[in-house]
Amino acid sequence: MKFLENLPRFVFFTGKGGVGKTSVACATALTLARAGMHVLLVSTDPASNVGQVFGVTIGNNVTPIQEVPGLSALEIDPEQAAEAYRERIIAPVRGLLPETELASIAEGLSGSCTTEIASFDEFTNLLADDLAYAEYDHIVFDTAPTGHTIRLLQLPGSWTDFLETGKGDPSCLGPLSGLEKHKQVYAKALQALTDPARTRLVLVSRAQTSSLTEIERTYRELGEIGIGGGYVVLNGVLPPAAGEEELAQALRAREAAAVAAMPGSVAALPRDVLDLKPGNMVGIPALETLFAAAGAGMPPGAAADAEVEDAPLAALVNEVELDGHGLVMCMGKGGVGKTTVAAAIAVALAKRGHPVHLTTTDPAAHLTETLQGSTPGLKVSRIDPDAAIQEYRSHVMETKGRSLDDEGRAALAEDLMSPCTDEVAVFRQFSRVVQESRRHFVVIDTAPTGHTLLLLDATGSYHREISRQVGGTMGFVTPLMRLQDPAQTKVVLVTLAETTPVLEAEVLQDDLERAGIHPWAWVINNSIAAAHPQSPFLRARAASEIEQIAKVQTLTDRVALIPMLPEEPVGEDRLSALTALSTQPA
């Protein structure tokens, strides 16, 4: 593996959701530990599944992997990090300040911004605190999907700039007395990130156009803040062992075309290619095969029966249409096909004569590429964080700032430059879209799970604040109340028939249930079993799906199954075909 040669201390794996970053990061950490290194594997993904891959419980504390001497892991849990962060700020003044003031400080530290900053603090300490983590030869970072990761890696510079240029008092950072320490830590973290002798960036992708486009964008944006010298890993490439049946040939041709058209900046980087394996990358024995060629070690019973029952996406669309209007939210782990499913549902409803608004909250979404044109009756938009932030700042200055003097307006403008404003600004646009669903159909392609949960946290915080202010004096309806009402909102969880994506979606369903939001249906996308392959290799992949399909059927009353297709479902015609497909063989 080229990316393992002369490896510096810090290694970052990033890329579009669902490309196998966690598998590659875990296999890398395992390989280094087997070579006698002391390794810390860190997940910065709010929806981490490193623990699931190794079959152990990993949390916000460094946890040794008992089966692998020298390897420890850490999942930066946003809620645990936020709670510890609040305690660090409040503990020194507990007993010195009245309880009412302590409660006010805690309330100011309860939003999604604080959650982000708390996780970010843990991340920067790993880069900047050489003494605390001196025992590790390598620290391997399994990052969140690219949109969230770019935000995370940009934060050292964002906060450094904010603290250097302003008198800012961002409440999520706590008392001003600690800001000097923050500046030093953030500056040191930024130095580590931008030093190729200390940090290696590994861009993980599938041999797919959207994934390759995404790593090019990531490489370019990270290059703008001084992070460069990247390596490319093409993961899950169909091997010769998959045979020569029509599906295999079509998938190989699609992969070859995507790689041939790879953007020049990333095509020039050192590259490794990892074959698709017949089984799932869960457990140490499976991880040890990831860097080996496919074909050897075909699992027993590879050609076992892998037939599935018919479960067309059209059946879900028929039920959605009965309401005449409403909100459909497609959620799930990155890379499972939320954008495709959302677009297919929206196109189907529009072609049936309904006005539809299709939008996305995903910074890395590709709605335009997926649709490849316009459909009568379908409006397409994107909740752009940069545009939302600018609009929010202008709105606050024109309203709250109107009655202030010049000094007050300057202070307000400075406060609005805090990175804390981002989630608030995006939430405002999200709320507007939710309101539209009272009149017509709105289909939302959400960001990957962790980012979406932060958005829902902002929605819940807003609901609690409105409830506190209004009390029982008047009626009100918040966005959260609309999401909780099954007559107004249908949440569709999108997954793949693989262990980790199904576990991830199950955890998401539990999180939503705790927020009073009951998922309406699940969609299993890109199922090889539903495509009825013939070669032993592909039948082995199909057989590995059956258990996961059965598990999904125990978690929900509605399931749709979309087969793996020879051609990517892009453009109106192919998207329409998704809602006309049967999973039964002809």
Which of 14, 15, 16, 23 is an active site residue? 23
Which of 16, 21, 277, 333 is an active site residue? 21
Given a contact cutoff of 8 angstroms between Cβ atoms, the answer to whether 370 and 531 are in contact is no
Which of 14, 17, 22, 415 is an active site residue? 22
Which of 15, 45, 279, 452 is an active site residue? 45
* Active site (annotated) includes residue 23: yes
Beta strands in 206-354 (DSSP E): 231-237, 271-275, 326-331
Rounded Cα gap, residues 494 and 337, in angstroms: 7
Rounded Cα gap, residues 102 and 271, in angstroms: 53
Rounded Cα gap, residues 51 and 67, in angstroms: 13
Which of 15, 20, 111, 230 is an active site residue? 20
Burial class (CB in 10 A: 0-12, 13-18, 19+), 513: exposed
Given a contact cutoff of 8 angstroms between Cβ atoms, the answer to whether 14 and 146 are in contact is yes
Rounded Cα gap, residues 60 and 76, in angstroms: 5
* Neighbouring C-beta atoms of residue 344, cutoff 10 Å: 28
* Active site (annotated) includes residue 22: yes
Rounded Cα gap, residues 199 and 50, in angstroms: 21
* Active site (annotated) includes residue 18: yes
Given a contact cutoff of 8 angstroms between Cβ atoms, the answer to whether 443 and 338 are in contact is no
Given a contact cutoff of 8 angstroms between Cβ atoms, the answer to whether 511 and 453 are in contact is yes
Strand 489-496, strand 63-64: pairing: unpaired
Which of 500, 527, 535, 544 is an active site residue? 500
Best CA proximity match to 199, nearest among 227, 236, 234: 227
* Active site (annotated) includes residue 165: no
Active-site residue numbers? 18, 20-23, 45, 500
